[in-house]
A = this chain, B = another copy of it.
């Protein structure tokens, strides 16, 4: 008997919460208004009577609310949620003890309102009429969901990459609600390099004639452009070392070069496969909006040049900052800057750089060290 058969399969249903019905639309950071807004979310475990065992997980750029377990209707060969190795009964984030929530970010295409949603004004998909959203707007939508669930205290907010930006934004916007925070593989401000990669990805979508200025719903979409954007993404999620170990110069199904433009090398096939797979599950306009939100992310105020984290009260939030040694999208020096900034504002900060050769993607890969780090950290978070 395998371990799989011994453990009951956990099935979780996606839920939906709709708010900001007109005329009480959501005010976005850009000044635009949006509503109604639907947020898709999933929960794991039970809310305790004190309502203080809540862990909010914030997902990365192309993620969704399906963190752990299976969805109703998932076949035998379906993969579990994207952080199944970390979240579940008895795991690093133990759903036997904690009430875990993850919601799909505003602007995405995995159940929450985004550019592919119906614009109530036109009864057609928004496309580029969807207003620009920021990381702060995503967090505000999550706050509305917490209010709806009558949750006013978060034991921790945890997430990696763009999810880590949301973690930090939660600390800035709603510090009174956040008892601890675990930003992983992330940054206080998007670097020029990260903006550059995002911009090339956006341009590759917008260069696809099927993009049609974002108006492609119900027609053939910008699949080729989106696939190339994803290929660029995958290069940044790995690392020189990761690619050398994973692919090296190994050839694909051949003993010699094709002397043509087929995929000769395994790394080429891998990227082509990742590109075409992504097209089946993700909306190109959502990529445009979410990458732009990431590019805008900066905890230093442009006008005052003041770091937002400086305004946190002393010891307001307990932090565990985690970086990965081979992450070249958000290298460890970004995490160190964050740690310095938090320490200057008097916070209780732990920092860990995890040795891993798999690049930025490391935070998504099952890793006992991460599970132990987080479960240990959670033990030390004071009660409300």
Interface residues of A (CB under 8 A from B): 30, 32, 128, 131-132, 189-193, 195-197, 199-200, 202-204, 206-209, 224-225, 227-228, 231-232, 235, 238-240, 243-244, 246-249, 255-257, 259-261, 263-265, 267-268, 271-272, 275, 288, 292, 295-296, 298, 302, 328, 331
Contact = CB atoms under 8 A, between A and B. Distances in A.
Contacts of A131: 259
B200 A244 contact: no
A232 B233 CA distance: 12
A192 B248 contact: yes
| Number of identical protomers | 2
B192 A271 contact: no
A131 to B, nearest CB: 7
A298 B249 contact: yes
Contacts of A259: 30, 32, 131-132
A192 B265 contact: yes
A247 B195 CA distance: 10
Given A264-B295, A302-B256, A328-B240, A231 B192 contact: no
6 contacts: A192-B243, A192-B265, A195-B267, A199-B268, A203-B275, A240-B331
Contacts of A331: 240
Given A191-B244, A246-B192, A271 B132 contact: no
The 8 nearest A-B residue pairs measured at CB: A192-B243, A207-B224, A30-B259, A132-B259, A192-B247, A192-B267, A199-B268, A193-B240
A267 B207 CA distance: 19
B192 A207 contact: no
A192 B261 contact: no
Nearest to A245: B192
Nearest to A222: B207
Given A231-B203, A244-B191, A257-B296, A267 B196 contact: yes
